Amino acid sequence: MSGQAVRYCPHLGLVMFPSYLNRYHWQIRHLINIPYALSLMWMTETALVAEDLLESITVQTLHQNLGDTEKETWFHPKACLIPDRKGSSPVALMTKQVIGGSDYFGPVHWSISNDQGRTWSEATPIPALDRKPVKAHEGLMAGVCDVVPEYHAATDTVLALGQVVFYRGTRFSGNDQLARYPVYAVRRSDGTWSKRRILEWSDPRGSFIYSNNCGQRWNLPNGDILLAFTFGPESNHRSVAGVLCSFDGEFLKIKRVGPPLKLAHQRGLLEPSITRFQDKFYLTIRAEDDRGYQSVSKDGLHWQDKQPWRWDDGELLTMSSTQQHWMRHSDGLFLVYTRKTEKNINVIRWRAPLYVARFDTEKRHLIRETERIVIPMSDDGISQPDQVALMGNFHITNASARESWITVGDWLPRQEARGRMHLARIQWSSPNQGWLLNKQEN
């Protein structure tokens, strides 16, 4: 990083360099030697305006695969909090899987943290979410990806919901990708996992695909679950609709599907995520027309006409087929996303850096002055885009009244899928009174 003062402490193996990204002051500590399995950790601390709800952002790298030694690159890290019925601190459970190429993932694993995400247990496979041979299709394997675990208070279980994906050999099977549908496994209160199950939907509108892949969902007080499907009878022009499900701790079943939102452009509307703020539900949707979309609903099933993401001055955000997710505080709603800027113009789908901004729920736009970089680009997005690690699959977890997490894996597709796994800690300036709302009650 030219033009910046660099200091190195040989006793700690510590490289420190200050820099200014836009108008934000970043201080990145690059730790070379640390114990246990965390072979690399760098911290970024963002100095924010005092009146902002986002007091600071600190990024911890949990795992890295950037050196010459052959390692795995963990991807799709998604965490949830399991409250302790005896009053002790909650336990964090994370699902993750290795990435080996574009849309090519290994079996789903899980890890546990008892110290607020600072250290994690060794990754353990979830047998129900492993690969399985497909009958009548020799050599074709049915895997699972895009898994989101969430604690379900009414049944004291964790529901890990993803989607089926088909592999042939060491890659995503593009020529014989069969119909796609949601699959799930349940971690019971005794720590055992259920077998793999399918969220059944016989509607012909989802005959090619119906999925809630990577989607945030909302648990209702009676145990029902609100989520959203992306679906279609063919690959292109998929729709999105709200879905109400029942869940008894073992079986997830569809009770009702709401009217669809549509987009007749390429694959249409993808990867919807739902949250609730105050007395309304909010939906954000990935698309492929250089836009992302959002909507609002009173019941999570009947959504108003979608609107493209825009700033408070009316300017549209330019996004390239990448998901967005909600981060919820009792005093404000935020969006986490990637977008096109003049500094990442050559990065694939502009999938770095990762941003967060506050959402005006009344006027339904993002407030530009609140935008912050959660995780910066790893290199120059103009002259060296292949050196920029891509981020686009991430998850949000409310970890305490003062802290929320953004977990994300990054990877270098043209460098043997090498990359890192990060946990960004969002420190709030005031307590998040509803931090467990989507885990226990509405």
CATH number where 200 lies: 2.120.10.10
Least confident of 3-12, 285-294, 422-431: 3-12
Tell me the mean pLDDT in the region 94-121.
96
Q: Which domain holds residue 95?
A: 34-440
Residue 14: pLDDT band (50, 70, 90) is: very low
| Contacts with 88 (C-beta within 8 Å, 6 or more apart), sequence order | none
CB 189 within 8 A of CB 156: yes
In a domain, 80, yes or no: yes
Angle at 109 between CA 231 and CA 187, to 5 degrees: 80
9 has pLDDT over 90: no
37 has pLDDT over 90: no
CB 245 within 8 A of CB 199: yes
Q: State how far the Cα of 153 lies from the Cα of 171, in Å rounded to an integer.
A: 38
Peptide bond before residue 133 is cis, with ω within 30 degrees of 0: no
140 has pLDDT over 80: yes
Share of the chain above pLDDT 70, in %: 87
pLDDT of residue 437: 60
CB 51 within 8 A of CB 404: no
3-state secondary structure of 219: strand
pLDDT tens for 154-197 read 999 999 999 999 999 888 987 788 999 999 999 999 999 999 99
In a domain, 265, yes or no: yes
Q: State how far the Cα of 428 lies from the Cα of 436, in Å rounded to an integer.
A: 15
In a domain, 12, yes or no: no
390 has pLDDT over 70: yes
pLDDT of residue 45: 38
In a domain, 316, yes or no: yes
Could you give the number of structural domains in the chain?
1
pLDDT tens for 235-273 read 999 999 999 999 999 999 999 999 999 999 999 999 999
Average pLDDT, the chain: 88
Q: State how far the Cα of 415 lies from the Cα of 387, in Å rounded to an integer.
A: 8
**Structure tokens of 384?**
């060296």
In a domain, 64, yes or no: yes
Q: State how far the Cα of 360 lies from the Cα of 363, in Å rounded to an integer.
A: 6
| Contacts with 69 (C-beta within 8 Å, 6 or more apart), sequence order | none
pLDDT of residue 1: 34
Q: State how far the Cα of 13 lies from the Cα of 223, in Å rounded to an integer.
A: 50
In a domain, 135, yes or no: yes
**Structure tokens of 171?**
């890659």
Residue 313: pLDDT band (50, 70, 90) is: very high
228 has pLDDT over 70: yes
Least confident of 66-70, 343-347, 413-417: 66-70
How buried is residue 56: exposed, middle or buried, by Cβ count under 10 Å (0-12/13-18/19+)?
middle
Q: State how far the Cα of 329 lies from the Cα of 145, in Å rounded to an integer.
A: 28
In a domain, 16, yes or no: no
In a domain, 20, yes or no: no
